[in-house]
Amino acid sequence: NEVVTEYTQGMACPRKFGIAELRRFKVRTRATQRLYEQGHKFGARFAYDRGQCVGRCFPGNECTCSLDCDEQYAQYGHVVGCNNFRDHYPFPAEDTQAPDGIWYSFPAAGRCADPTGDPSCTWSIEEAGGITLAELEALEPGKDQCCDGACTDFWSELFDPARTAWRVHKALALFRQKYPDEPRDLTVPCDFNRSLWYAEDSFKRRNPWDMEDGCMKERFITGVAQPYR
């Protein structure tokens, strides 16, 4: 949405951050023993901002900050996190046009070449191809949404779940066409159950970018990061 349509305010051209391609990756994961004993393959999906874990982020940009990350990683290891859109927790908190969507988080401290389930070796990653936005948009020519001389209707009805599912199908089909030896879909179900981790949730929620009380305050003070203007 924000990359190709500027939050539905018309076609974004040039694209945000110059993004022109969808990259796909193969990620292998292995739960730590502590997480496995709890019956989970995945932990909580934490948000990262400029490389800092800011915890679980809820509507209104209210986040539990690094204390949440530190406590959970100390207990379970640097495990991969996830959340199902359908669960409405922690975000998005309401129905979206992609009800089957899943977000994942990958703590850098858990990355390794061959996941073993050690607290510092829970996931690996490798390239699995890419498709360009131009290739996708060419599948549905149009006249109102234009960029670099090409017009498309691929992004029309942006908030319609059926149309969104159609876009996902088209993208997966294009990956399959370009990379016939790869699996069509690499999605892994998210099994995170917040009631097992947060039956009692005492973590304070704060705006990471609040200069007085935010998760990023120390980084602002030391000059490691600068606040958004």
**Per-residue pLDDT tens for 40-65?**
999 999 999 888 899 999 999 999 99
Q: What is the Cα–Cα distance from 152 to 155, expressed in whole angstroms?
A: 8
Instruction: Output the DSSP codes for 131-197.
Output: EEHHHHHTTSEEEEEEETTEEE-TTSSTT-HHHHHHHHHHHHHHHHHH-TTS-S---------HHHH
Backbone angles phi, psi at 206, to 5 degrees: -140, 160
For residue 221, the tally of other CB atoms under 10 A from its CB is 10
Cβ atoms of residues 34 and 75 within 8 Å: yes
Cβ atoms of residues 194 and 179 within 8 Å: no
What is the SS3 assignment for 101? coil
Give every CB contact of residue 206 below 8 A, 6+ residues apart in sequence.
62, 63, 65, 213, 214, 215
Q: How confident is the model at residue 218 (pLDDT cuts 50, 70, 90)?
A: low
Q: What is the Cα–Cα distance from 192 to 103, expressed in whole angstroms?
A: 11
CA 116 to chain centre: 24
Per-residue model confidence as pLDDT tens digits over 80-125: 999 999 999 999 999 999 999 999 999 999 999 999 999 999 999 9
Q: What pLDDT score was predicted for residue 227?
A: 44
Least confident span in 70-74, 89-93, 95-99, 186-190: 186-190
pTM of the model: 0.88
Q: What pLDDT score was predicted for residue 2?
A: 77
Q: What is the Cα–Cα distance from 229 to 225, expressed in whole angstroms?
A: 12
Q: What pLDDT score was predicted for residue 224?
A: 53
Beta-bridge partner residues of 175: none
Q: What is the Cα–Cα distance from 57 to 78, expressed in whole angstroms?
A: 18
What is the SS3 assignment for 24? strand
Element (H, E) at 34: helix 33-37
Q: Which of 172, 26, 4 is nearest to 100 (CA)?
A: 172
Give every CB contact of residue 113 below 8 A, 6+ residues apart in sequence.
124
